């Protein structure tokens, strides 16, 4: 595959993957190559290759004689992904505290402003992306951007759950914002113990709301 073809496939993959994570494409929904080509102005080969990759990740599944469908969210896999994140981020956040510069703190605070704006506008997708961008930046500052990419590749069930959690009424957007601020303040103070404890406090409750979310979106889940 040429570099240009790889780029087009990556573009198609990222677009379709995001649509699945933010529930624009819902579990059980049929995805046809022609529909995706028309919706996103993409050519056939990149879409086909993207669907193969998405099937390998479990985001879609093929039914013989019927087509390709968006998969349901496996809560067992979401819990496994959360365990991986908690384990890895203990190490990452400790290193992050040692390496963060004033410029890095400024970049983290800029993302906090993005989440503030998303909350003010009730923009769920922007809030989810800013939240994800915050954690991606912490890995990059710690010197492990490739680890974040690897975790992202295996943590799609958790990411899909996180988005549904974001759009569920009465769940704590502001709590997430405040937790991020506590983390940034601890990083700025180079208080490694506080950073680790704050990140764990942020991650630990992530699946605690599963009953409320599953009851609102029962058709989105398997193993619920």
pLDDT digits (tens, 9 = 90+) for 36-72: 999 999 999 999 999 999 999 999 999 999 999 999 9
Contact 157, 74 (CB under 8 A): yes
169 CB contacts (<8 Å, ≥6 apart)?
Answer: none
Q: Which residue has the tokens 């409750």?
A: 205
- Which residues on adjacent β-strands are paired with residue 68? 31, 62
CB 20, CB 160: distance < 8 Å: yes
- What are the residue ranges of CATH 1.10.10.10 in the chain? 3-71
- pLDDT digits over 80-135, tens only? 999 999 999 889 988 998 899 999 999 999 999 999 998 888 888 898 889 899 99
Q: Which residues make up the CATH 1.20.120.530 domain(s) of the chain? A: 74-222
Give, as one character, the DSSP assignment of residue 101: -
* Average pLDDT of span 214-223: 90
- Distance, in Å, from the CA atom of 15 to the CA atom of 39, rounded to the nearest integer, reads 11
Rounded CA gap, 117 and 121, in Å?
6
Residue 155 gets which letter from DSSP? Answer: -
Full-model pTM: 0.88
- pLDDT, position 172: 63
41-50, 163-172, 206-215 — which is least confidently predicted? Answer: 163-172
Residues 6+ apart with CB under 8 A from 126: 114, 117, 118
Does 206 score more than 90 pLDDT?
A: no
Average pLDDT on 163-177 reads 77
pLDDT at residue 153 greater than cutoff 60:
yes
The hierarchical CATH code for the domain 74-222 is 1.20.120.530
DSSP 207: G
Indicate the fold that domain 3-71 takes in CATH. Arc Repressor Mutant, subunit A (1.10.10)
């Amino acid at each position: 595959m040429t570099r240009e073809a790889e780029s087009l496939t990556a573009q198609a993959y990222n677009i379709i993957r995001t649509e699945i994570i933010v529930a624009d494409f819902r579990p059980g929904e049929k995805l046809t190559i022609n529909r995706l080509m028309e919706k996103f102005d993409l050519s056939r080969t990149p879409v086909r290759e993207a669907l193969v990759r998405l099937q390998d990740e479990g985001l879609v599944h093929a039914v013989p004689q019927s087509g390709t469908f968006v998969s349901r969210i496996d809560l067992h896999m979401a819990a496994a992904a959360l365990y991986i994140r908690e384990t890895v981020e203990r190490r990452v956040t400790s290193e992050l505290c040692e390496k963060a510069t004033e410029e890095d703190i400024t970049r983290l605070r800029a993302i906090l402003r993005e989440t503030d704006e998303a909350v003010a506008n009730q923009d769920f997708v922007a809030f989810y992306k800013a939240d994800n961008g915050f954690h991606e930046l912490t890995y990059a500052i710690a010197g492990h951007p490739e680890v974040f990419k690897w975790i992202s590749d295996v943590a799609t069930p958790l990411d899909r759950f996180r988005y549904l959690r974001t759009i569920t009424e009465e769940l704590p957007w502001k709590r997430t914002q405040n937790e991020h601020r506590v983390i940034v303040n601890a990083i700025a103070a180079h208080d490694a113990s506080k950073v680790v404890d704050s990140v764990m406090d942020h991650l630990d409750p992530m699946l605690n709301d599963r009953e409320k979310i599953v009851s609102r979106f029962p058709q989105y889940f398997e193993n619920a």
